[in-house]
Structure 1
């Protein structure tokens, strides 16, 4: 059965509306007659904003720059692979690479059509990376005195003496980028760029271009642009969440690490690069290799030095120290004077699993202080709802106080000591039962008791 003209018209309209490339057509007077969904999306405009209006009344162009669509119409020439930056009716900057051509019917010019590929996001990413290559953190910014954390810091500090690649392993929120920046800042590369990229934040279609760069004409919309390896020349490139990078790109990354040369997409020229790579993972690499999501040869190439950052639940000794630092930070930020947390809150914090680790603890303190007014102490009712609805394992039966004239860190140690003593008394000095009730290992409780000079003598 042959389609009618009306059916063909509907088919053409559906194709134009659903194709994944911007289509913008104007008539001979410069008024828009076709403006598809992809074009509306990349220009953040509606059909009513553009259709049947003169192009020159809707869009603005930089000085000495003109519309490629109007140029093609006026000169009756095809324009290929031209990068264009312009502004929509709200002043938002848009960057596209255009294929534009005039349209004739019966030997008469009837309009022009532009096929546009959006490269705005890539342009912004590249600018952001070029503008943000400095480190903000040093080893002295890493807070905590637990043995497991100090071991991680010691390994990271030894890594500053060499140029070897580093793999940092730790759960989300443990501070992997803080460690990476500290290694760079204490190394001989500190005067050169530090460039960071989260591999999970960028789709596969863009990450290759961002890492290795592009050459004009490599694909539709490609422009000459350096990749992150070139931007980090002489310095450090942090590849965050490496386990999110697909296997195909892992093979290309391995080649760059082995040969110390990078080839932009679409180019045959290899560019020597002197870059130290620090990669981070939030999973056990052995599990990821076993699941075939990480190449074993890439793992060995990166894990020359491996830093394991312990989760917060395994270094609860550091919680009082971190609480003190976060109180100081948010007091300064919010212009408040919160001095401490209540014994109930401390006890809850010491028992909580902290799946979000240090970042989660910081957010808990920040959220609590946002609902406070003039109080000096964070209490349970200040905590976010998802904490308050959890039933604490131990409810104190005694009033626990601290000497408010002491420094905050010492007050927190006093509170911790009293919580442990009370729990021991409830269990008549039984170490195993007390540790279980406090949500920690027997060894951890014994370590705390020794550090806080707590004995079970005289307990019944």
Structure 2
């Protein structure tokens, strides 16, 4: 009797686990399809059912080819993996499902190996139909803009609106960056721009294009972090009919930017394999569409942007070193707003004038308390954050002539209070520089002194020290290693 009871307990536990797994599979936002060694479906979740337009009951427990007549031994990735025992990772598929709906997925298919033998195959499908539609819109809009003929005296490509004159600020660090941008504009070399989020990297990129001999030619921009890597490759290189399931003949952004400039925003989000292909394009000035045999010659300049220092990105394996040397012929660093606090007044005045027009207000400026807060705040979101703070404040201004602390967004006030409280705890450690020391070496000594002070004040806590210094943890670790401080 005890053994029977024990078996029932084990069976109950097994059934409970199965029910739990089924619940999990049913709630995943990816499609799951598993077949056994005979080609019968043993797992088919609701997400896969919706993707393929098939009822779970029509597929589960059935032979794959009989349940899905449109498949064959040759074109079924599940049966191919079952037969070869080799995984097929990250395959894009465009198809019409059983209900006539166009679907785009990225599929990864893996053999299920038990005791060295292939006992089945697992396919995981991610629906990227909506993202593909957005990517198609990007391509179509770019094509339409490129085809538009510039009328009259329009000096710039319609994809752009910023020029060097659009860059506001008088701080020496910013003027150096502007000087580099002006010099770079008159060359054909590729440019790498890096700076924190919100510092104006695209503004610099467009300004370089509009000051260059390429200004009447296309300016094409793509955010490398906004699209899955499978879509990004097709978007950049273009596609050829038959290159993958559902592929069509379409020029990529490399070809669309021919004669002009291609902006690769957040380059460090591009995977290393795709970076290698980009390197080849830059070295040989040719591009081959996905699935194509022939190559197309192109003449374009690439401007890439990143929100981290190149050395840090290389160390973190987010940027190929050889690609950096090819792209970073001209490297421009845009200083953070906290490094040039003298420019805060210029931006504040500009944004107030802008929103006075939009909101039909007559705000004259900010009061002394707001000015003091702005000057002491670290501005992690930089100029973009300052603009949003001014916009938010002016939406609360009625008949007042000056923005006060009571008009500022609540979240900003909370962040500012936290920052100012920490800054009051910091101790200034002046550095006496030896005579004749170069400006670069003085800067390094100052950095070392500030880092050492921050580490001492935080008991060696890297995260807290980075926060005090207004750096990311990764950048601080890089600098500690660079200066051999540990």
TM band (smaller chain): 0.5 to 0.7
Of Structure 1 and Structure 2, which has the larger fraction of its residues in helix?
2
Residue deviations 1:334-365 (CA, integer Å, cap 9, x gap): 12211110010001101111111000100110
Name the count of aligned residue pairs.
327
For the structure 1 residues 42 and 151, does the alpha-carbon distance in structure 2 shift closer, same or farther, using more than 3 Å as the test?
Answer: farther
For the structure 1 residues 293 and 128, does the alpha-carbon distance in structure 2 shift closer, same or farther, using more than 3 Å as the test?
Answer: closer
Given candidates 386, 397, 418, the residue that maps to 1:372 is 397
Rounded Cα–Cα distance in structure 1 between residues aligned with 2:224 and 2:319: 13
Contact 1:235 1:275 in 2 (8 A): yes
For the structure 1 residues 117 and 375, does the alpha-carbon distance in structure 2 shift closer, same or farther, using more than 3 Å as the test?
Answer: closer
Q: TM-score, normalised by structure 2?
A: 0.60
Given candidates 101, 109, 128, the residue that maps to 2:138 is 128
1:259 paired to 2:269: no
- Give the match for residue 333 of structure 2: 308
Given candidates 210, 214, 222, the residue that maps to 2:235 is 210
Given candidates 340, 348, 354, the residue that maps to 1:323 is 348
* Structure 1 residues without counterparts, runs of 5 or longer: 1-9, 24-33, 48-71, 74-78, 89-93, 99-114, 396-429, 433-440, 444-460
Residue deviations 1:284-330 (CA, integer Å, cap 9, x gap): 11111122221111000001111111110011111101001000111
Rounded Cα–Cα distance in structure 1 between residues aligned with 2:94 and 2:227: 25
Given candidates 337, 357, 362, the residue that maps to 2:382 is 357
For the structure 1 residues 221 and 365, does the alpha-carbon distance in structure 2 shift closer, same or farther, using more than 3 Å as the test?
Answer: same
- Give the match for residue 56 of structure 1: none
- Give the match for residue 253 of structure 2: 228
Contact 1:39 1:116 in 2 (8 A): no
- Give the match for residue 339 of structure 1: 364
Task: Give the superposed CA RMSD.
Answer: 3.9
For the structure 1 residues 328 and 17, does the alpha-carbon distance in structure 2 shift closer, same or farther, using more than 3 Å as the test?
Answer: closer
Shift of 1:22: 11
Rounded Cα–Cα distance in structure 2 between residues aligned with 1:143 and 1:19: 45
Rounded Cα–Cα distance in structure 2 between residues aligned with 1:213 and 1:236: 17
Contact 2:225 2:266 in 1 (8 A): yes
1:178 paired to 2:203: yes
**In structure 1, the residue corresponding to 2:305 is in which secondary structure?**
strand
Rounded Cα–Cα distance in structure 1 between residues aligned with 2:357 and 2:366: 17
Contact 1:193 1:233 in 2 (8 A): yes
Q: TM-score, normalised by structure 1?
A: 0.63
Rounded Cα–Cα distance in structure 2 between residues aligned with 1:348 and 1:178: 27
Rounded Cα–Cα distance in structure 1 between residues aligned with 2:224 and 2:420: 42
Rounded Cα–Cα distance in structure 2 between residues aligned with 1:345 and 1:230: 49
Shift of 1:37: 3.3
**In structure 2, the residue corresponding to 1:274 is in which secondary structure?**
coil
1:201 paired to 2:226: yes
Contact 2:237 2:288 in 1 (8 A): yes
* Structure 2 residues without counterparts, runs of 5 or longer: 1-18, 34-43, 56-68, 77-92, 106-124, 146-158, 422-427, 431-442, 447-486
1:382 paired to 2:382: no
Residue deviations 1:19-65 (CA, integer Å, cap 9, x gap): 96699xxxxxxxxxx9963574799xxx9xxxxxxxxxxxxxxxxxx
For the structure 1 residues 275 and 341, does the alpha-carbon distance in structure 2 shift closer, same or farther, using more than 3 Å as the test?
Answer: same
Rounded Cα–Cα distance in structure 2 between residues aligned with 1:393 and 1:252: 43
Rounded Cα–Cα distance in structure 1 between residues aligned with 2:419 and 2:135: 47
For the structure 1 residues 36 and 386, does the alpha-carbon distance in structure 2 shift closer, same or farther, using more than 3 Å as the test?
Answer: closer
Residue deviations 1:223-250 (CA, integer Å, cap 9, x gap): 2222110111111100011111111111
Rounded Cα–Cα distance in structure 2 between residues aligned with 1:394 and 1:274: 50
- Give the match for residue 219 of structure 1: 244
Rounded Cα–Cα distance in structure 1 between residues aligned with 2:312 and 2:45: 49
Rounded Cα–Cα distance in structure 1 between residues aligned with 2:413 and 2:25: 53
Shift of 1:205: 2.2
For the structure 1 residues 18 and 172, does the alpha-carbon distance in structure 2 shift closer, same or farther, using more than 3 Å as the test?
Answer: closer
Rounded Cα–Cα distance in structure 2 between residues aligned with 1:331 and 1:343: 20
Rounded Cα–Cα distance in structure 2 between residues aligned with 1:361 and 1:262: 41
Rounded Cα–Cα distance in structure 2 between residues aligned with 1:97 and 1:393: 46
**In structure 2, the residue corresponding to 1:238 is in which secondary structure?**
strand
**In structure 2, the residue corresponding to 1:336 is in which secondary structure?**
coil
Rounded Cα–Cα distance in structure 2 between residues aligned with 1:181 and 1:315: 22
Shift of 1:376: 1.3
Shift of 1:126: 3.0
Shift of 1:274: 1.1
Shift of 1:16: 11
Rounded Cα–Cα distance in structure 2 between residues aligned with 1:36 and 1:347: 57
